[in-house]
Amino acid sequence: MKPLSARPTSREVMEDAPVIPVIVLNDVAHAVPLARALVAGGIRMLEVTLRTPVALACIEAIAKDVPDAVVGAGTVRSAADAQAAALAGARFAVSPGYTRAVGKACHDLELALLPGVATGSEIMMAQEDGYTALKFFPALQAGGTAMLKAWHGPFNDVRFCPTGGITAQNAREFLALPNVACVGGSWISPADALASGDWARVTRLAAEAAALPRG
């Protein structure tokens, strides 16, 4: 893996590996062993979604105890979310949509942001604010690979991370596109593996994801 600066850019976050795991944690005790298992498999950009009451504590634990991981916060919907994530030790943020308030907060915090977009207008607004590494969400429901192919003409300077409905089975189809830098998916950290502490399975899934080819 390439060395990273203390504050990676949005492009560095997206281009580090073919897959960014979308992680939902309900138990702080799972955070560190999960992160270590993912890093052991070659995946170090870890999106911990702010969907559970323990998410910030999980981000803090990973930031403190797994130095080889680059932990980020997902489901960032407000400036307050961005501030809390940064205080917990997050080094990047992922949002399900885009607002200028979230964009400004992340810029001021020097927190790399992957803003969520689903329309051409949202892409243009994010670009106006300096963002060209974007999350396409929800990818399957918003048009999938056909939409990304259509966007490649007018937005050929933008790179995307499709998230939402991406699986081990369809990831290759998305990664083959020239405007896709990586995909986001939850299959690398399945809930049943977390519940049973099957970290070897997580490492195997991460290694398979890290080996996926990109276009």
Q: Output b/e per residue, 46-70; b: 16+ Cβ within 10 A.
A: bbbbbebebbbebbbbbbeebeebb
Of residues 15, 135, 173, 208, which has the active-site annotation? 135
**Inter-residue contact 92 to 70 (CB < 8 Å):** yes
Q: Please give the structure tokens belonging to residue 187.
A: 């299959």
Indicate if 47 belongs to the active site.
yes
197 backbone φψ class: left, alpha, beta (φ>0; ψ -120 to 50): left
CB contact set of 84 (below 8 Å; sequence gap of 6+): 50, 56
Kindly report the number of other CB atoms within 10 A of residue 129's CB atom.
16
Residue 13, classed as helix, strand or coil, is helix
Catalytic residue among 2, 12, 15, 47: 47
Instruction: Give the closest residue to 96 by CA, choosing from 76, 124, 73.
Output: 76
Active-site residue 128, yes or no? no
Residues annotated catalytic, as ranges: 47, 135
